[in-house]
Amino acid sequence: MTTIGDVTTARGGGFVRTRRTRQSEALRGLVRETRLDPASFVYPLFVTHGVNERQPIESMPGQSRLSVDQLAAEAAELRSLGVRAVLLFGIPASKDAEGTEAYDDDGIIQQAARALKQADPALAVIADICLCEYTDHGHCGVLTAAGEVDNDPSLELLARMAVSCAEAGVDMVAPSDMMDGRVGAIRSALDQRGHESLPIMAYSAKYASAYYGPFREAADSTPQFGDRRGYQMDPPNVREALREVAADIEEQADIVMVKPALAYLDVIRVTRESTDLPLAAYNVSGEYAMLKAAAANGWLDERGAILETLTAIRRAGADIIITYHAKEAARWLNER
């Protein structure tokens, strides 16, 4: 028997020794409950018009706007890393009140989809379906005469965009606009055009977050007036998120999503407990920029912090992680 302070213990027993399986990386790996896999990452891509364009995004170090001719090299790099899905955002040549280029069959996102599928037919190409990058006012739908986002007329344009992207060869559409009824409208339009098998990944619980700032620079999608709180979710609400998820499932969403991820891990968890559908979480631009800025200042270990962050999102219940860290995280995971 050995006495340590007021604790008496028998060697090898007397209390639970949870440290036994933490003594080496091999042992820790055997009992690890949550695992990251590059195959579960989706890498967002910002695509612009032009030739040989690779425009760095200042607020998102390591990210760039790419012209279509740059996408084949991007696809090859992702294949080598084991990242097998991308999410496309387009920067149009011109904007108007109805976001016309969003549903132009030769629009930027349609061109990008065709180029990626030609470069790597096995790559899963997902099209973000929203009008905010394409409208001159920067809102996610068309406006009434009073300047309010008009829900029902916006559904028709979103459905047209989804069909156009489907016919350009995308493997999935992902409506992010937060208009009521948009999943059902898109499903109906896809089915009518013979795309019954094309899945929908719905941005179901998308919050009106302060973490979107760098994305708005990248996609040039900042609203020209007002904000998006009238249609994106109020950050204090959780039960409302479950209503949004349930509505999207009823309208035949195949995958549901929570966005952002880090400040909403509790929402990811309750969503996971509410449905057996695949669940995505979007590790958004502001979350990415914070870690990059802290790492650049030497305030934290970049590799450790990024992998810990992605593990937390996975541990909360996400099956799919949309993240700008996908390339570097995949590289580190492949080194293990």
Q: Is 259 a catalytic residue?
A: yes
- The pairing of beta strand 7-9 with beta strand 2-4: antiparallel
Look at the domain 34-335 and name its fold.
Answer: TIM Barrel (3.20.20)
**Structure tokens, 184:** 């059902």
What phi-psi label fits residue 154: left (phi over 0), alpha (psi between -120 and 50 degrees) or beta? Answer: alpha
Which is catalytic among the residues 95, 117, 259, 292? 259
Q: Is the pLDDT of residue 228 over 90?
A: no
Alpha carbon of residue 133 to chain centroid: 16
pLDDT at residue 256, rounded to an integer: 98
Alpha carbon of residue 46 to chain centroid: 13
For 40-76, how does the pLDDT look when each residue is reduced to its tens digit (9 = 90+)? 999 999 999 999 999 999 999 999 999 999 999 999 9
Which is catalytic among the residues 95, 206, 292, 327? 206
**pLDDT band at 9; cut points 50, 70, 90:** low
pTM: 0.93
Q: Is the pLDDT of residue 8 over 80?
A: no
Spatial separation of the C-alpha atoms in residues 202 and 199, rounded to whole Å:
10
Domains of the chain, residue spans:
34-335
Q: Is 117 a catalytic residue?
A: no
Q: Is the pLDDT of residue 224 over 90?
A: no
Sign, Cα dihedral of 260, 264, 269, 275 = negative
Which of the 8 DSSP states describes residue 33? S
Amino acid found at 198: L
